[in-house]
Amino acid sequence: MNRPPGAAASSALLHHRYQEKKAVLAGLLQRLAELSGRISWPDAAEARQTAASLLASLGEPFLFVVVGEVKTGKSSLVNALLGEDLCEVAPDPCTDRIRMILHGETASDVAVDPYLSHVRVPHEILREIAVVDTPGVDSIIDRHQEITERFIPKSDLVLFVFSAINPYSRSAWDFFSLVRQEWRRKVIFVLNQADLATAEQLRVNEASVRRLAEERGVADPVLFAVSATRAATDPEGSGIEAVRRYIRDMVTGGGHYAQKLLSLCDAASRLIERLSRALAARREDIARDAAQAADIKERMAQAQTAAGREAASLVARVTAVYARLSRDFADAFEAELTFGNMIGRSLRGMFRRGGGIDARVAELTANFAEKLTREVEDVTRQGAAHVSESILDRVRPLLDELEGRDRFGRRGAGASALSEERETVAREVRLRVEALLGAEGGFAGVSPTEFSGLDPKAAMGGVLMVVGTLFAVSVKSVVVDVTGGLVAASGMVLAGGTLLWKRPRIMRVFRKNLAEAGERLEAELSERLTARMEHLFAELFARFDPFFTGIAERERVAGELGRETDALAGDCDAFARDVGPSA
């Protein structure tokens, strides 16, 4: 064929341009494959496989699939288009396999599986084109997966073949709707056996096919009326040469590259849309978890406030016990300072070692400390129980709710790796919190051996152990400090002079010492219990950390994936706009 000057150069330049575009698309598909592998969702494996398939198909020949009713001459049409009898004419639609016709240096026909044969033919056009010849639509509509899942997603062009006499087969149009809605492939329509129809029939039926196609979303449908049986003797008059030119122009004129690239880009865009929806669902999950985390923090703060009120009540009760016993102690001490008792104590002290007033005061002080310790231990045990119940009543439901959402709401075949990951975190949090509130305590820095006279482990279980230990250590140490100080103060009060004449002053000083000790007891006990409670809740919050920090990390990853997905979608759109006008 004679070409105008510069035609060959223009063709080569055009080919080079699309080779460059092919490299750009390869980069986009590579990004898509990598991104698909990083997003956790129920269809992640299928998405990764689809992305890898799209990338692999970029190097494959132009693929067109021939679909239609039985007795519409699909195989004859393929033979006419390729100029050789490659497809068996009029096969049994119930048993015939799908036939994929590919280029090969030698002819062969190999059964790949019960549904598919690979036919290889040394035909030059097959270096650029591969053909899938299917049985009749009415025989595959019920087992269409082989077509819709294996070939349609990778097809560059689908030829829907109808009888020129009756192009109204419901099964054919139902199958077309399925293919068009799911994958939106490039489609051309062929009315075969046109030699059997009248001119009026062709006119009416061509208009009907265009209308039916447009109703199913095909704008400006491409339609050919052909007679495959006349192709050998009259290529132009049969209409076959027009179809050949359409396909040749797509291949040799650059349209093939544009169509193939656009087809793959379109499939990639649809996968990106699915990834975007999966990420949106993931962000909704994260948002629910973030709301739950905020609720946990708020309710934990409420639990700490309630526990703080119980601790303050305990301080008030201990202070009341001290006030009552200190009054009794002061009254008993004052009674020892009467004239008769002083003379008697002095005489006894002359004849018996340890029988003086100092010994009696030491005895009163010891009795006071013993009673104070015993009653405070009872109060402490009760206060610890109240605080423990307050904490348990508020923390246990949080753990149940944390695990409950996955346990009852997201199980089953649709559960994703993401939800499994969340369940693992929820279980870890429960174990960590249970370890703290469990029978063994698990509270850093506190042991029952640090105090004497009170064994919460023997009397209490679970969180009572923890809180009882906290309170017992704090209360015990403060009481010991206070009573020890009183003993020293009592000795100082008794030192020097005749006690009888100093009795009023001694009692004023003594009662002042008791009052100051009570104030110190209240202040130190409040300070220590507050610190202990803060310590306890700091550990409780820390044991929820895997859930809190997991949300932040998932938010970060989801944001990063979302930005990458949006950027990839934008780049694919730009690629389609760049390639499309030149197709």
Rounded to 5 degrees, what are φ and ψ at 97?
-85, 160
- Give 94-125 pLDDT, tens digit per residue: 446 778 888 889 988 898 877 788 888 887 77
The whole-angstrom separation of Cα 345 and Cα 87 is 131
Tell me if 146 is assigned to some domain.
Answer: no
The whole-angstrom separation of Cα 186 and Cα 461 is 72
The whole-angstrom separation of Cα 173 and Cα 203 is 19
How much is the average pLDDT of 127-142? 71
Of 45-49, 548-552, 574-578, where does the model show the most confidence? 574-578
Average pLDDT across the chain, whole number: 75
Asked whether the predicted pLDDT for residue 461 surpasses 50, the reply is: no
Asked whether the predicted pLDDT for residue 31 surpasses 90, the reply is: yes
The contacts of residue 79 (CB under 8 Å, 6+ apart) are 85, 86, 87, 89, 228
Distances (CA, A) of 266 to 33, 261, 569: 15, 8, 11
Residue, of 236 and 407, whose pLDDT is higher: 236
How much is the average pLDDT of 469-477? 62
pLDDT at 182: 56
Dump the DSSP string for 431-480.
HHHHHHHSTT---TT--GGGSSS--HHHH--THHHHHHHHHHHHHHHHHH
Cross-strand bridge partners of residue 154: none
Q: Report the Cα–Cα distance between both ends of the chain, in Å, rounded.
A: 24
For residue 70, give the 3-state DSSP assignment.
coil
Q: Which of 139, 5, 3, 157 is nearest to 66 (CA)?
A: 157
Tell me if 373 is assigned to some domain.
Answer: yes
Distances (CA, A) of 265 to 33, 147, 258, 277: 13, 20, 10, 18
How sure is the predictor about 449, in pLDDT bands with cuts at 50, 70 and 90? Answer: very low
Tell me if 214 is assigned to some domain.
Answer: no
How much is the average pLDDT of 413-434? 70
Return the minimum-mean-pLDDT range out of 135-139, 149-153, 405-409: 405-409
The whole-angstrom separation of Cα 164 and Cα 197 is 6
The whole-angstrom separation of Cα 53 and Cα 262 is 16
The whole-angstrom separation of Cα 103 and Cα 128 is 9
Return the minimum-mean-pLDDT range out of 71-80, 470-479, 521-530, 550-559: 470-479
Angle (nearest 5°) at CA 224 between 223 and 228: 150
pLDDT at 497: 42
How sure is the predictor about 565, in pLDDT bands with cuts at 50, 70 and 90? Answer: very high
pLDDT at 472: 64
Asked whether the predicted pLDDT for residue 414 surpasses 90, the reply is: no
Q: Which of 247, 258, 221, 252 is nearest to 83 (CA)?
A: 247
Q: 540: exposed, middle or buried (C-beta count within 10 Å: 0-12, 13-18, 19+)?
A: buried
150 and 134 Cβ atoms separated by less than 8 Å: no
Residue 107: Cβ within 10 Å count? 11
How sure is the predictor about 308, in pLDDT bands with cuts at 50, 70 and 90? Answer: confident
How sure is the predictor about 570, in pLDDT bands with cuts at 50, 70 and 90? Answer: very high
Q: Which of 197, 510, 185, 461 is nearest to 330 (CA)?
A: 510
The contacts of residue 499 (CB under 8 Å, 6+ apart) are 337, 342, 357, 506
202 and 164 Cβ atoms separated by less than 8 Å: yes
pLDDT at 191: 94
Tell me if 400 is assigned to some domain.
Answer: yes
If you search the block for the tokens 């293919």, which residue do you land on? 179
Tell me if 578 is assigned to some domain.
Answer: no
502 and 399 Cβ atoms separated by less than 8 Å: no
Q: Which of 157, 167, 232 is nearest to 193 (CA)?
A: 167
Residue 418: Cβ within 10 Å count? 21
Q: List alpha helices for 83-218, DSSP H.
A: 137-140, 145-150, 170-183, 199-215
Asked whether the predicted pLDDT for residue 32 surpasses 80, the reply is: yes
Task: Fill in the DSSP letter of residue 61.
Answer: P
Number of structural domains the chain divides into: 1
Of 144-148, 167-171, 225-229, where does the model show the most confidence? 225-229
How sure is the predictor about 145, in pLDDT bands with cuts at 50, 70 and 90? Answer: low
Tell me if 40 is assigned to some domain.
Answer: no
Asked whether the predicted pLDDT for residue 284 surpasses 80, the reply is: yes
Asked whether the predicted pLDDT for residue 567 surpasses 90, the reply is: yes
Write down how long the chain is: 583
Return the minimum-mean-pLDDT range out of 129-143, 220-234, 525-539: 129-143
For residue 163, give the 3-state DSSP assignment.
strand
Return the minimum-mean-pLDDT range out of 118-122, 127-131, 196-200, 336-340: 336-340
How sure is the predictor about 75, in pLDDT bands with cuts at 50, 70 and 90? Answer: confident
Q: Where in the sequence is the domain holding 392, given as residue range(s)?
A: 289-552
Residue, of 171 and 582, whose pLDDT is higher: 171
Rounded to 5 degrees, what are φ and ψ at 218?
-95, 110
Percent of the chain with pLDDT over 70: 71
Asked whether the predicted pLDDT for residue 383 surpasses 90, the reply is: no
Tell me if 109 is assigned to some domain.
Answer: no
Residue 531 one-letter amino acid = A
Burial 366-401 (b: 16+ CB within 10 A, else e): eebbeebbebbbebbbebbbbbbebbbebbeebbee
pLDDT at 342: 52
Residue, of 153 and 351, whose pLDDT is higher: 153
162 and 69 Cβ atoms separated by less than 8 Å: yes
Distances (CA, A) of 135 to 91, 171, 203: 8, 13, 28
How sure is the predictor about 560, in pLDDT bands with cuts at 50, 70 and 90? Answer: very high
Tell me if 497 is assigned to some domain.
Answer: yes
The whole-angstrom separation of Cα 188 and Cα 303 is 70
Asked whether the predicted pLDDT for residue 350 surpasses 50, the reply is: no
The whole-angstrom separation of Cα 451 and Cα 448 is 6
Take residue 508 and report the two structure tokens written for it: 């004023």
